């Protein structure tokens, strides 16, 4: 808090106004609800008692004598403002309402409170605080805020767009190793992490993991970043990491989007996690059963794919973060797309094609649009974005226009600390492509209920040496879906001719063209290069079982 103003002094003197406060009693006290920004969290947590003390550096944006912060943990305990007891502090619904002497704009005050963090998570996920047995049979402790969840542990700013710096002090039993975002200072019974970079979003930065089973190994220098891996003997994942592949991906991300955002260190750790991976800044956590052998996955190499996906999030999700909760799709779509582009341009076309097949497979069971108009709780729909997200936002547009243009758009969105929404993604794509995508986004991205992806009937008619090819959207009543894809005309002796079907960004119910194959066509292959979230009408219309592709097998 800054120096007392006369108005603050008057508020302190109000109970004594009969005896007088001097000439200053003519001034109006500062009364009302202040708006605030939290710039720093100092979070002290005891793993054995679950007691937590949070000190928040609060900037007053508009003056007032009270402010509100989301709060869902068990009580406020002792509350202080600049080390003095708050004049009022109570829980009102799911918010902490805090009152003090009144503050002018641009004042800074340190708010502190204590609480006991409940041992509970959200709907079977790991969002919250949990202790579960790891692959070695020892406890794995994990505090995860995810999007909008930091108020489970302390009063905090739950906005998806919020950035802050952090200091975590974790008291723990001897033998436990603790990892959290920032510079790590481990001790026998206390570990401190100082996160003093430009800022980190609360969804991924507010959290820590602890285990007594980790064995640290060094993965070397990845372009000036010291990379380490905290493995468990029974998981044996560290030696399966293809260091050269991920060094290559890291270097490509740096070249494309600018420096790695979190200093000179990147840590990986494994545990019995709900998700295959999670992108804590500089502190990536992977599922302890994420191995290519025996791990069921639509990806050709789930360990490699997940590792690169979480690296991509250091830029797309962490450094540049979500504007609102329901902008969630862009960060997952970008991470998936960037891994795909690196695969197809630097690694293996077959691995890249497996990724495309996975996206189309995931999308078939979608129950929500990418940005659902009914705005359901994030946990109800977020798993539906991993397949259709990268297809709709990026793969289909590179098929309509070019990969160069899509990557140019991503280059304008990433590489700096800020929060962006799906509308920003649309504008960046329109600017890079040079086309109006409002109809495209209205049809593909926004909607209510389960999406009805386009279904097409393909017919061919011989006309002498020529072949007439007709492609018709049979569910046009669901809206016209714009994209471009190839129909492969196939001969008996492995001959093939690709017929380009370009429906434009706004769609077209009927596409016709005439080609000269030069061979007898015995079959057609729909969307031969997996460029559109469209399906042939002869394929089964039944939806497959809905599976969240980012949830680990043990939790499905």
Q: Specify which residues 92 forms β-bridges with.
A: 95
pLDDT, position 3? 34
Instruction: Please tell me the CATH code under which domain 455-532 is placed.
Output: 2.60.40
Q: Which of 352, 312, 355, 314 is nearest to 335 (CA)?
A: 312
The answer to whether residues 548 and 365 touch, using CB atoms and an 8 Å cutoff, is no
Tell me which DSSP letter residue 394 carries: I
The answer to whether residues 52 and 153 touch, using CB atoms and an 8 Å cutoff, is yes
Q: How far apart are CA 211 and CA 9, in angstroms?
A: 50
pLDDT, position 296? 67
- Residue 95: phi and psi, rounded to 5, are -130, 150
Q: How crowded is residue 555: how many other Cβ atoms within 10 Å of its Cβ?
A: 14
Report the predicted TM-score, pTM, of the whole model to 2 decimal places.
0.93
pLDDT along the chain (556 residues), means of 10: 33 30 56 96 98 97 96 87 95 94 96 96 95 96 97 96 98 98 97 96 98 98 98 95 97 98 97 97 96 73 96 98 98 98 95 96 96 97 97 98 98 98 98 98 97 96 95 95 97 96 97 96 96 88 84 84
With a CB cutoff of 8 Å and minimum separation 6, the contacts of 439 are 482, 505, 506, 507
Q: How crowded is residue 490: how many other Cβ atoms within 10 Å of its Cβ?
A: 18
- Two tokens, residue 404: 């160069």
- Residue 16: phi and psi, rounded to 5, are -110, 20
Residue 361: which H helix or E strand, with range? helix 349-363
How many residues are listed for the chain in this entry? 556
Q: How far apart are CA 516 and CA 469, in angstroms?
A: 11
pLDDT, position 18? 28
**Cα torsion at 415, 419, 425, 428 (round to 10°)?**
-50
The domain at 6-116 falls in which architecture?
Sandwich (2.60)
Per-residue pLDDT tens for 226-241? Answer: 999 999 999 999 999 9
pLDDT, position 349? 94
* Residue spans in the chain of domains classed CATH 1.10.390: 325-447
From the options 1.20.120, 3.55.50, 1.10.390, 1.20.1050, give the CATH code of 325-447: 1.10.390
Residue 504: which H helix or E strand, with range? none
Q: How far apart are CA 228 and CA 241, in angstroms?
A: 11
Q: How far apart are the first and last CA of the chain?
A: 49
Q: How crowded is residue 182: how many other Cβ atoms within 10 Å of its Cβ?
A: 25
* Residue spans in the chain of domains classed CATH 2.60.40.1730: 6-116
Our CA angle for 400, 420, 180, nearest 5°, is: 120
Tell me which DSSP letter residue 345 carries: I
């Amino acid at each position: 808090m800054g120096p007392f103003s006369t108005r603050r002094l008057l508020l302190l003197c109000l109970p004594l106004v009969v005896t007088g406060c001097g000439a200053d009693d003519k001034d109006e006290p500062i009364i009302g609800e202040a708006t605030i920004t939290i710039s720093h969290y100092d979070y002290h947590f005891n793993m054995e008692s679950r007691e937590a003390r949070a000190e928040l550096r609060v900037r007053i944006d508009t003056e007032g004598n009270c402010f509100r912060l989301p709060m869902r943990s068990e009580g406020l305990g002792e509350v202080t403002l600049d080390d003095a007891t708050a004049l009022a502090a109570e829980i009102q619904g799911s918010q902490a309402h805090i009152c003090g002497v009144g503050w002018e704009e641009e004042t800074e005050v340190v708010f502190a409170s204590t609480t006991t963090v409940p041992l509970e998570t959200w709907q079977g996920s790991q969002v919250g605080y949990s202790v579960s047995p790891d692959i070695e049979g020892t406890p794995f402790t994990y505090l995860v805020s995810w999007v909008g969840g930091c108020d489970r542990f302390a009063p905090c700013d739950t906005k998806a767009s919020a950035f802050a710096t952090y200091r975590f002090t974790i008291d723990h039993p001897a033998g436990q190793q603790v990892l959290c975002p920032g510079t790590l200072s481990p001790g026998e019974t206390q570990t401190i992490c100082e996160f003093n970079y430009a800022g980190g979003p609360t969804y991924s930065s507010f959290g820590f993991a602890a285990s007594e089973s980790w064995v640290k190994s060094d993965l070397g220098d990845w372009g000036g970043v010291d990379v380490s891996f905290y493995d468990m003997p029974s998981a044996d994942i560290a030696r399966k990491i293809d260091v050269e592949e991920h060094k290559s991906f890291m270097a490509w991300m740096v070249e494309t989007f600018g420096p790695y955002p979190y200093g000179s260190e990147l840590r990986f750790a494994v545990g019995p996690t709900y998700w295959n991976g999670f992108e804590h800044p500089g502190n990536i956590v992977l599922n302890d059963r994420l191995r290519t052998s025996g791990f069921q996955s639509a990806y050709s190499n789930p360990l490699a794919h997940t590792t690169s996906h979480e690296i991509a999030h250091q830029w797309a999700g962490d450094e540049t973060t979500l504007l609102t909760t329901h902008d969630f799709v862009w960060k997952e779509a970008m991470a998936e797309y960037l891994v795909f582009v690196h695969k197809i341009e630097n690694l293996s076309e077959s691995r890249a094609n497996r990724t495309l097949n996975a996206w189309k497979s995931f999308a078939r069971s979608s129950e929500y649009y990418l940005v659902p108009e009914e705005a359901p709780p994030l946990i109800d729909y977020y798993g539906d974005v991993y397949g259709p997200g990268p297809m709709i936002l990026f793969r289909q547009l590179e098929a309509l226009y070019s990969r160069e243009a899509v990557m140019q758009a991503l280059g304008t969105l990433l590489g700096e600390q800020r929060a962006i929404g799906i509308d920003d993604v649309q504008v960046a794509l329109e600017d890079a492509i040079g086309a109006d995508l409002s109809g495209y986004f209205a049809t593909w991205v926004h909607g209510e209920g389960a999406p009805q992806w386009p279904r097409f009937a393909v017919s061919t008619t011989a006309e002498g040496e020529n072949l007439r090819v007709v492609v018709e959207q049979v569910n046009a009543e669901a809206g016209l879906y714009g994209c471009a894809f190839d129909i492969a005309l196939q001969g008996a002796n492995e001959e093939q001719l690709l017929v380009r079907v370009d429906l434009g960004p706004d769609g077209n119910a009927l596409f016709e063209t005439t080609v000269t194959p030069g061979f007898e066509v015995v079959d057609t292959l729909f969307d031969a290069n997996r460029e559109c979230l469209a399906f042939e009408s002869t394929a089964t219309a039944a939806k497959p079982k809905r599976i969240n592709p980012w949830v680990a097998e043990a939790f499905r």
